[in-house]
Amino acid sequence: MNIKQAILWASDELDLVCERPSFEAQLLLCHHLKCNRVFLVANEEKIVEDAEAFKDIVARRKNSEPYEYITNNVSFYDIELFVEHGVLIPRPETELLIDEVSNIIKQEKITTIAEIGVGSGAISIVIARKFPNIKIIATDISPDALNVAKKNIEYFGLGDRIKLVHTNLLDGIKDNIDMIVSNPPYIANDFVLEKNVIKYEPKEALFGGVVGDEILKEIIDLAKTKEVKFLACEMGYDQKQLIAKYLNQINVNSVKFYTDLAKLDRGFIIKF
């Protein structure tokens, strides 16, 4: 099997799984051969070494396994991150949360941030790279997620600025915190997700309770109790009214809801 044949075969295999089967076939072959797409075009007649291993990779993708888990890599914001099973794959919409947080850091005297649910480390790493004077405490209840976050943090040389803590929310954290940032589980327990998500990604990082907003409300209460200046959270597209109603019951200075590129409600910034 040469490169051209491998791409055609893989495209056919992935036709019912991917929106862009030919593109993903090329990406998977690049991963297998450790090359770029230009190499594929320039070497169409070259025989694919260890073709059986490539077929195994394609079979995993055909079975709806996320591309990011197969390649152990995800592009996020302006960086590449290591990911594996057991940690949530960072989504493009979470980049908007970072932009909202960045605007606040530029305007306010923010020196210490706590991230609840660090996952792969995506949010904390990007913020730390953008703002060299910020210190971050990043927590997670998942040892698997913390191991992945540690690997990514060390890769970017940020171990002295991002402190990882294995705990629930901010239990045991005594540091003074200016701002809490979180992309917590916010999906309702009975919501039907796509096969590639529900089958492979960690459920504890997805589902937030019966309604879905339970953990969000818990984080809001925690932020108020800790007297932080700001709380920035991602939320579900259908949770704005629920969160707004809850905030009306407690005393906050202000709240700003923001939307994603599809104009769907995606998160909020609370000033206490």
Contact predicate 194/200, CB 8 Å: no
pLDDT band at 243 (very low <50, low <70, confident <90, very high): very high
CATH 3.40.47.10, domain 87-271, yes or no: no
pLDDT tens digits, one per residue of 81-123? 999 999 999 999 999 999 999 999 999 989 999 999 999 999 9
* Model pLDDT, residue 195: 77
* Model pLDDT, residue 109: 87
Residue 51 and residue 1: Cα distance in Å, rounded? Answer: 7
State the average pLDDT for the chain: 95
* Model pLDDT, residue 185: 87
Residue 195 and residue 246: Cα distance in Å, rounded? Answer: 32
* Model pLDDT, residue 210: 83
The residue whose two tokens read 């997620």 is 145
pLDDT tens digits, one per residue of 4-21? 999 999 999 999 888 899
Residue 75 and residue 135: Cα distance in Å, rounded? Answer: 24
Nearest to 202 by CA among 153, 123, 141: 141
The pTM for the full model equals 0.93
Within 8 A by CB and 6+ apart from 19, the residues are none
What are the domain boundaries of the chain?
Answer: 3-63, 87-271
- Longest CA–CA span in the chain (Å) reads 68
